[in-house]
Each structure stands twice: as C-alpha cells, then as structure tokens.
A and B are shown apart, each in its own frame.
Chain A
Amino acid sequence: MKRYSAFAIAREAANYHQGWERAWAKRAPKKRYDAIIIGAGGHGLASAYYLGKNHGITNVAVLEKGWLGGGNTGRNTTIIRSNYLQDPSAAIYEKARSLYETLSQDLNYNVMFSPRGVIMLAQTHHEVRGYQRTAHANALQGVKTEWIGPERVKQLCPIMNIEGPRYPVLGGLWQARGGTARHDAVAWGYARACSDMGMDIIQQCEVTGVTSEGGKVTGVQTSLGDIGCNSLGIVVAGHSSHVAEMAGFRLPIESVALQALVSEPIKPCMDVVVMANTVHGYMSQSDKGEMVIGGGTDGYNNYTQRGSFHHIEETVRALIETFPMISRLKMLRQWGGIVDVTGDRSPILSKTPLEGCYINCGWGTGGFKAIPGSGFGFAELMAKGYSPLTAEFGMERFREGRFIDESVAAGVAH
C-alpha cells in the first residue's frame, strides 16, 4: 500500500494523478479462512482490522451483501460522544471515542474526526437531575464531561433560543471532546487497512446459510459459493435476527427504521453538536454547511430503509422551536436505516449457542460513535474468547436480569 501524504499528492500531481492505487483490493473468496466477518460496515471492518492489528489474525474475509459502508455506517448523523450513565457503556464508548482521536493517523486515512463538542440539552427538571447524575457518574468513570448552565449553552451555540415557550433550556451535559467524523471515511479507512494486511473484502456476496457440525460453526453458504471458517463474526445491524436465524438462535432484538435528513448548505452557524432529547431532535452542521438532523425511530418492525413521514415533521417541528433561524431552510435529502434495538437499548457483543460463532449487534440508534471500540473489543472476544470491554454485553444478560439499562438513562436519542 502506498501511504497517503502531502508528498504523495505532489508526486502524483507530477504524474497527472495516474498512479493512485485502489484503496482496497477486489478479490474472489478463498475456500477457507481463519475468521469470517459477515457485514462490511464500520463495526465489521473495525472488528477485522483489530483482529489483524492486535491479535495477528490476518487470514480473514469480510463478506458484504451490498456495498461497503452502505448500511447504517452511511446513514447516520456521525455524532461521537461517550457520556453514558452505566459503567460498561461508558467504558466501551469512551474507548471508541479515544480511538477516534488518533484514527486518521492509525489508518493513514483522514476520517475527519472533529472534536467540536456535544451538548445534550436539559429542557425539563427531570433531565436536569438526570444529566447532573450522569456528569457525576462520568467523573467517576474518568470520562470528561461537565454540567453547564443555560448561559454557557447560549454562549456555545448562539443560534439557540434558550427561552423556548414550551421547553426552555435549563442547562446541558457538555462533552468538549465529543464531536463528529466523516462516516464513509471510517469504513473506507478500515477497509483499506484490512486489505493492506491481506484480508479479503468481498462485496455483493450475500450469506444465505451458516453451516455447522456437532454444535460448532464450520463455514457459511453464500451467493458466491460455500466458504469455510474456524470462527464467524455476525456484524449485520438491522439484519441480525435474520442471520442469527440461519445460525440457529434468536435474539432479543426488533428491527425498526430510523431516519435522518440534511438541509441545503448554509454559512457556518453552529460549531457544536446539539442533542435535545425531550423534544427529540439533534442537529449539527457538516463541513459542507448542511444542517444534519436526526430524530426518533418508528415504532414498528421494518426492513425497508424507509421511514414514516410524520417522524420527519415531528423532528423538524421540535428543532424549529429551539433553533428559530432554521425555519426557512429547505431540506435537501432524507433517508432511513434499519436499526436493531434491544430491550435495554445496549448492544450485544457475545458468544452464541453455536460454538465459534460470535455476534456484535444491538447498537440500535447509536452505533457510529462506537465503531472503533466495538471492533477493538469484539476482535479480542473472537481471538481470545474474552474481552473486558465486552464482558457485560453478553446476550445471556437478558435471561439473568443484568440489564445495562441505557433506555432509562438516555431515554431516547442514544
């Protein structure tokens, strides 16, 4: 792999940019791999990357039904934060956030991590108490967050109307090192690094079955033929239940649609990410100037990547109250993704009833921020059978009543 650098740009410019290589190689699947990851989204590619980087397992294939990063990795609002209440969540999300800090250098690929700061607004007295509690929890966890008053919120984001008629801003939970990153670049950067380690990234290869012998996984059936493996990682987000069914087990997951939208580009007007959970909308401004807006999920099972129109209306209506200046903005694009929501709104990184088969799913509406930490922990789990990062996220926690209850802690938009 030729390294990307300022020098490389100068060298290629002198050569009319004829010399750039493909970022990742296109290869046909081999007969057998040490490990197969199903799903070439952020989480799947990160898992493969850390399998190679941290554990020396490079005979790996990443299989993808569609195209690389075309699922929720390409459909989210790119927010990165780690201000969670529960200790296991804070640990894995903070690991992810800290890996994002140096990800561009690690991958030699600019993921445009922008630690611009994230404010989670408190607009009711319940939220004030909740976020103050989270701020204290974060202090104990070593995650740097701060409870700030309404004046400081206004100072950080002057376009906000903090005296809203329905929900005035009473303060916020401020994480200065949270922010955003370029979502596609995260997938592309991991893919390029995986390919450089000799891993095969095989797109348009749909897994149609999982083969096993004596309770142990032996491989997968795909649209490109059968492929053998010693261990299998299922990292397919919205389709987790569907693939788990092939492997012979069921999950505590419902798949629903989550939508996002962007406005026409405007001049820079906000340099932080704002999340408003009471009214259920969140917004940031992309480097192109578009306002990137997200809201709540639909309430019914759905695999179509299309959501309900009235949720867009509710989200935009909520944000207009807090940000009156966006009321005249035109919306450019809207899209949906299928998110896999668990009972306690926390992910599952776990062994499964099928030996050698592991699953990484249930990130629901908040997976992008976790990509590096999720891959880091899941790779360790696959390579060693145990990871301190993922220990609490086993699928048996539902049976045992050990929930990591972020649905109570975060309420929504998480």
Chain B
Amino acid sequence: MLTLKCPYCGVQACETELSPGYEAHLKRFGPGSSDDDFETYLFTRPNVKGVHFERWRHAYGCGKWFLAARCTTTLEVFGTYSAQTPAPPAEIIEAIKSKRPDWSPET
C-alpha cells in the first residue's frame, strides 16, 4: 500500500485517500505555440522508468494538490512537496541523490 505524507495537513495518507494526477512540472503551451510544443504538452510523456515526479490530490483529506517524487521501479517514495513550485526543491533532489547516486535531474 502506497502512503504519501500530505505536505499541507501533515497526514500520512494511504493511497485510498489520494487521487493520482500523473506527471508533475508539465510545461504548458497554449494558443500560438508550435504544433510540436502543443503535442508534447498534451500527450507526449517521458513515462520514466525510475525517479518520477508526479501530482497527487489529498482527495479524502484536505482536498489539496501536492507533488511527490517516487521511483516507478521500486515504488519507493523520496518525499512530497508543495504544488506551488515550478521545479523540485533542493531537499527533495538531495533525498533522491542520497539513494540514487547516479541520478541527475535532467534524465
């Protein structure tokens, strides 16, 4: 059973309390953007095998969206953080690197 700590209300929430929202930090493109950018934003996903940043909503708790860093091959959770950030914060990057020394944010 996957459990994630909600960064807003501090509850250690099990996945039945949460709604998944797939990939985080998507760069959004709107009217006037190129076909390539618009397609990438709407559909194309890295679908990473390894460290994945993703959106979750504490649906049956405080109701707020937050972000999580999780490994898709081991289901290990590296940490959760506020959704009001355009990139993963330093402490999350640090937590991932301590467990995955080969990992870098670009991959």
Measured CB to CB, the residues of A under 8 A from B are: 239, 241-242, 245, 250-255, 298-304, 306, 308-310, 343, 398-399
Contacts and interface: CB of A to CB of B under 8 A. Distances in A.
A300 B15 CA distance: 10
A301 B72 CA distance: 6
Contacts of B42: 343, 398
A343 B54 CA distance: 17
Interface stretch (B5-13, B16-24, B88-96, B98-106): B16-24
Nearest to A308: B15
A308 B23 CA distance: 19
Given A301-B52, A306-B75, A308-B2, A255 B15 contact: no
Given A239-B49, A254-B22, A301 B43 contact: no
Contact of A303 (B2, B44, B46, B72): B72
Contacts, number: 68
A301 B1 contact: no
Contacts of B49: 239, 241-242, 255, 303
Interface in B26-44: 35, 39-40, 42-44
Q: Which 3 interchain pairs have the tightest Cβ spacing?
A: A241-B47, A252-B43, A299-B20
Contacts of A251: 44-45, 47
Contact of A309 (B1, B52, B54): B1
A304 B22 contact: no
Contacts of B70: 300
A191 to B, nearest CB: 26
Contacts of A399: 35, 39
B85 interface: no
Give the interface centre of A242, A252, A254, A303 by most chain B CB atoms within 10 Å.
Answer: A303
Contacts of A343: 42-43
A308 B3 CA distance: 11
B84 interface: no
Main SS class of interface, A: mixed
A402 to B, nearest CB: 13
A309 B1 CA distance: 7
A254 B2 contact: no
B33 to A, nearest CB: 13
Given A242-B49, A304-B73, A306-B75, A250 B44 contact: yes
A301 B54 contact: yes
Contacts of A306: 75
Contacts of A245: 46
12 contacts: A250-B44, A250-B45, A253-B47, A254-B45, A299-B19, A300-B20, A304-B74, A308-B2, A308-B15, A343-B43, A398-B39, A399-B35
Contacts of A252: 43-45
Contacts of B1: 308-310
B17 to A, nearest CB: 10
Given A242-B47, A300-B2, 13 more contacts: A241-B46, A245-B46, A250-B45, A250-B46, A251-B47, A254-B45, A255-B47, A304-B73, A304-B75, A310-B1, A343-B42, A343-B43, A398-B42
A92 to B, nearest CB: 21
A227 B74 CA distance: 31
Given A301-B52, A308-B1, A399-B39, A254 B73 contact: no
Given A309-B1, A310-B15, A399-B39, A302 B45 contact: no
A242 to B, nearest CB: 5
B39 A302 contact: no
Nearest to B107: A245
Nearest to A252: B43
B48 interface: yes
